[in-house]
Amino acid sequence: MDQKLQLWFTELQTDDMALSCRVKKTLHQEETPFQSLAVLDTEQFGRMLVLDNVIQTTVRDEFVYHEMMAHVALNTHALPKKVLVIGGGDGGVVREVVKHRSVEKVVHCEIDGAVIEASRKYLPEISCALDDPRVDIVIDDGIKHVREHKKTYDVIIVDSTDPVGPAEGLFSASFYRSIYEALNEDGLFVAQTESPFFNRDLIPRLYKDISAVFPVTRLFLACVPTYPGGLWTFTMGSKRYDPLEVDIAGIPQMDTKYYSPAVHRSCFVLPPFVEELLVQGGR
Amino acid sequence: MDQKLQLWFTELQTDDMALSCRVKKTLHQEETPFQSLAVLDTEQFGRMLVLDNVIQTTVRDEFVYHEMMAHVALNTHALPKKVLVIGGGDGGVVREVVKHRSVEKVVHCEIDGAVIEASRKYLPEISCALDDPRVDIVIDDGIKHVREHKKTYDVIIVDSTDPVGPAEGLFSASFYRSIYEALNEDGLFVAQTESPFFNRDLIPRLYKDISAVFPVTRLFLACVPTYPGGLWTFTMGSKRYDPLEVDIAGIPQMDTKYYSPAVHRSCFVLPPFVEELLVQGGR
């Protein structure tokens, strides 16, 4: 009989569904002032960042989420110079943002400095751009930061955890109004907005709240294997630019594995069961 | 303390990753001559068909897979009259096929009659079209059936289990040649071809094998929550029609939740990490 340790990490993705991954080694475990933080080395996905027992990102599949959070928004804006990233302490979104040559400054506002420290130490492939000279790291509450900065940013990216615990306020109508005010007059923002299979009450509410503030509101999709059900939504609110009107032939070639100019277009094509959520949200 | 029974079904999706679903009730368990068959009533996905401990379909998410298996192929063919469905004993693909008014005959060739019987009894929402007068059910080996029928079908849909056990031969070059011969001169076929994240050796081989037989070979994507990683591939081999050249404005309105004319186009847009598999496959 094989005497090797059978060590599994299990995330209860909903009350009734769980994803488990075989663990080679637990690299880090810590209770921060905000959440329970762990870095695991898994057989399937390599190193994995876990917050409050929910998979945030893994070395193998992080490209999907980080590319889609950054490039759809940045390639929709005509000339993004100043970018704010809220959350995303692993640095993956920042790494993608600094690939854009127009970007002069990235303010990375993360509430929990321990996530950044653990990511620097254990996830260098993901956190590698945090030392880029254009990046300013601010350890602060994103809600407070946007309230204190008016007409400051071209693009704001909200890379939050799920809408429970520290990130709850990042899914509120008042936060979207603060975001609007923190953006320049042609600014836009994007947020991860959960699963179209499992969050069918949340998505219509967010879509309605964002539409109430921004003249252009668009939802797009990508498939992240370590998130519940795979299929994931992202919602963009924009003051002027419409991601559907981008001339995709003009998007510069980038080193990406999921995003491409063609995907920039196709990710907005919604199956009817997703479209239905937006109709519920008042479109 | 809650004394309620904690009953979970767990599928080892790979050696290192497992999906578990909370079970209300085990409705059926049987060892057929071909495989181990179960029907479970789950909290998350409703009733679920499990073969050899692998989730085949569930009442809640089956629409994605069945619609995409049927409609992309049928709306690519100019006038599909005679259709062969291999496997898919639950009847979900057949239910979608008979939505097409041009279809005069569906031969449903399933190797394991017990799957059909269990689906009739426990999954009426999925199996409901098996009694359609246009449907002929044949309990036989799909490989044998295609060998024995030359120039017979307009469209062949291969709704197989994974390429281990009874379905192994449905992923072979010789089977694709038999399919070619069983099709009419403007015929086409489609098969489910597994995950672009977890089957990165299999997909290039299949793509190469199908391309060696069919002048038009196209891979498309859909996201099925209960399959490993969500994102799933389907490969079409066609003698004449190209799914990319379909005039989607001419696709009739259908009662679907995932497929739409716009999805018919967008599902062929492949992220670079999937495109790469086809280059490996010789494109």
Q: Do B8 and A21 touch (CB under 8 A)?
A: no
pLDDT of amino acid A57? 98
Q: Where are the domains of chain B?
A: 8-58, 62-280
Other C-beta atoms lying within 10 Å of the C-beta of residue B140: 15
**Residue A66 pLDDT > 80:** yes
Write down the pLDDT at residue A46.
Answer: 98
Task: Give the model's confidence band at A239: pLDDT under 50 very low, under 70 low, under 90 confident, else very high.
Answer: very high
pLDDT band of residue A3 (cuts 50, 70, 90) is: confident
Fold agreement (B8-58, B62-280): no
CA B119 to chain A, closest CA, distance in angstroms equals: 23
Residues of A in contact with B263 (CB under 8 A): 269, 271
d(CA B37, CA A282) in angstroms, rounded, equals 44
B233 touches chain A (CB under 8 A): no
Give me the mean pLDDT over the A208-232 stretch: 98
Asked if A273 lies within 8 A of B257 by C-beta distance, the reply is yes
**pLDDT confidence band for A144 (50 / 70 / 90):** very high
Residue of B nearest to A267 (CA): B266
Give contacts of B261 with chain A, Cβ < 8 Å: none
Residue A166 has pLDDT above 90, yes or no: no
Prediction ipTM score: 0.96
Of B61, B229, B266, the CB nearest to A269: B266
pLDDT at B273: 98
**Given A61, A112, A154, A159, which residue is catalytic?**
A159
- B93 vs B80: CA distance, rounded Å: 15
- Per-residue pLDDT tens digits for B48-75: 999 999 999 999 999 999 999 999 999 9
- Which residue has tokens 């999709």? A221
Beta strand extents in B15-133 (DSSP E only): 17-31, 36-42, 46-51, 54-58, 82-87, 105-110
A13 is in an annotated binding site: no
pLDDT in tens, A100-124: 999 999 999 999 999 999 999 999 9
pLDDT of res. A68: 98
Residue type, B79: L
Which architecture does CATH list for B8-58?
Answer: Roll (2.30)
pLDDT at res. A15: 96
Tell me what pLDDT residue A2 has: 72
State the pLDDT confidence band at B42, using cuts at 50, 70 and 90: very high
Confidence of residue B143 (pLDDT cuts 50, 70, 90): very high
- From the candidates B159, B186, B242, B247, which is the catalytic residue? B159
How far apart (Å, rounded) are the C-alpha atoms in residues A33 and A51? 12
The topology under which CATH files domain B62-280 is Rossmann fold (3.40.50)
Within 8 A of B266 by CB-CB distance, chain A residues are 265-266, 269
Q: Per-residue pLDDT tens for A168-208?
A: 889 999 999 999 999 999 999 999 999 999 999 999 999 99
| Amino acid letter, residue B64 | V
A250 is in an annotated binding site: no
Whether B15 is catalytic: no
Residue B2 pLDDT > 90: no
- Residues 6 or more apart whose CB falls under 8 angstroms from that of B236 comprise B72, B73, B76, B188, B189, B190, B216, B217, B218, B219, B220, B243
pLDDT tens track for B151-165: 999 999 999 998 988
pLDDT above 70 (res B1): no
* B259 shares contact with chain A (CB less than 8 Å): yes
B254 in contact with A at a CB cutoff of 8 Å?
no
The whole-angstrom distance between A223's CA and the closest CA on chain B is: 6
For residue B177, pLDDT over 90 is answered with yes
DSSP for A124-152 reads HHHHGGGG-TTEEEEES-HHHHHHH--S-
Contact with chain B for residue A223, Cβ under 8 A: yes
The answer on pLDDT for B234 being more than 80 is: yes
